[in-house]
Structure formats: structure tokens, C-alpha cells
Structure 1
Amino acid sequence: MPGRGIGLSATEKMMLALAAMAAMAALAGGYYYFIAGLGAGSLTSFLMLRWQVAAAHNPRNLDPLRALNVLMFRSLVRTGVALTLLALSAVLQGLETLFGVLTGLVLQVAAHMGQAALIILRKGGKNVGSARSGRNYDTRPPG
């Protein structure tokens, strides 16, 4: 469908924004191998995130145990791909590329932390995760 784009989630948009900021800072400093590693790491992290989220949506309507097995398998594959990419970057290109790849892989964690901070700021820091957060933690039935 024209005009729909690829439908990026908030996490993916934040990942791309953080990657762009890191690339601009590295470009200003002349760290070209870092930028190459950042590109490889962030692209890998982005694609692996989309692959794992697709499993979490359970499009094949698997039973819960099989869906969990698929999700865990994809998590293990994702970890293996990340470790392989880190090892290859260290062996083939060196420390600067290794830090770029590591930064690209960590962007997802930074994006999730940023989203959590925005949620806390929107609530004003009040009642976040407490009994007064709007959830009913009372074990007794109402009335």
C-alpha cells in the first residue's frame, strides 16, 4: 500500500535516532571504522529485533508453550549472531570497529531505557510502580 511506510515502532524509531546521533558525533571526530561498526551493529540489532517481535506476535497461532519455544530459540539465535558479529569485528577490523558494533547492538537497550524515562517523566515521577499507580494490589475483593 502506498504511503504506509514500513511501520516502525517507537523503539525502532528511537534506535535509528540514537544511531544517527552517534554516527554524526563519530563523523565529526573522524572515526570512520566506528561508523562502519555502528552501521553493522545497529542494522543487525534492528533486523533481529523485528524478527523476534514477529515471533512474539505469534502469527501462526501456536499454543503458548510452542510460541514460547520459538521466542526463546530466536533469542538464542539473536545472541549468537551478536556475539559472532562482535568477534568478527574484533578480529577483522580492530578495536574501533568493535566499539562501533557494540554501540549498535546496545542501541535497543538504550531505546528501551529512554522510553521508560519518558514514561516516568510523563507521570511526573509520582506513583510509578507503587501501590498508588492506579493498579489495585489489594488481595481482598472489593466491597
Structure 2
Amino acid sequence: MLQFGVRNPAIDYRHRATAFGVVERDGLIACVRVERTTGAYFDLPGGAVDGDESEVQALVREFVEETGLDVKPLNRIAEAGQYHLKSNGEPLCNIGGFWTGVVTGENPDAKCEDDHTLVWLDPTVALSRLRHDAHAWAVAVWLRRAS
């Protein structure tokens, strides 16, 4: 498995199972702009796998919570880890799959993460704008397979 981010050996990182999605519509991919007091950043929609959830279940739930979109995951195209510090300073190592998917509907009333805004980005723009190297790498994998 590929590992991204810089691991500080003096820090104990909590490993967290995750799932993120690359969902395309009209040549653009779904991303979320996350607003924090320290500034805004872009991520692929997705996040932590909770409890006994599968990656597919987590991805479906996270997409609705963050974007208001209902998605159907299709293929697990990559797996990677990402060392990082959450905006609250918690050290994490996200480990999980990156999935392709399609939008099956819109459910704006189910969107509950007010600091996340759905944005559709050209994939080549997303490569340079996504916060995590693992997310940019997954988009590159998707681009190579889509061509």
C-alpha cells in the first residue's frame, strides 16, 4: 500500500479506516470545499468508516452528509494511507480505499455538514487543489484508467 504524508516519529498517529470517492459528471469530479477557521481546503468526498460499516456503506453515507448527493459506488480503484493532522490538531493516518461511483439522486435535506460545500472541479485542476496527496494520486489513477 502506498503511504502519503510526512510521518513525524515523535507523534503517535491514530489509524483510521476511510473511503473516498471519485465521482464524475459532465467531465468534472465532485469535491468538497471545507471551511475551517485556519482556511479552506478541498477534499474528495468521503471519510471514516464507522463501526461495522463497509467501505461502500461509509462512502454512500459520507457523500450524502457532505454533498447531499446519493451515489452508487462502482469500483475500488486504489488504496492508500495519508498521514496528516486534523484541523483540531489530532494526528491521523487515514487508510482505505478510493472508489469510483455515479450520482443516483440528490438529497439536499440529508446534507448535514454545513462546513462542506459541493464543488465540481476539472480533474486536472483538482490534482493541484486537493489537500491530501493521496486524494490527488487517486484522481491521477482514475484519469489514467478513464483514458
Give the TM bin, normalised by the shorter chain. under 0.3
Tell me which structure has the larger Cα radius of gyration.
1
Higher helix share: 1
TM-score (norm 2): 0.23
Higher strand share: 2
TM-score (norm 1): 0.23
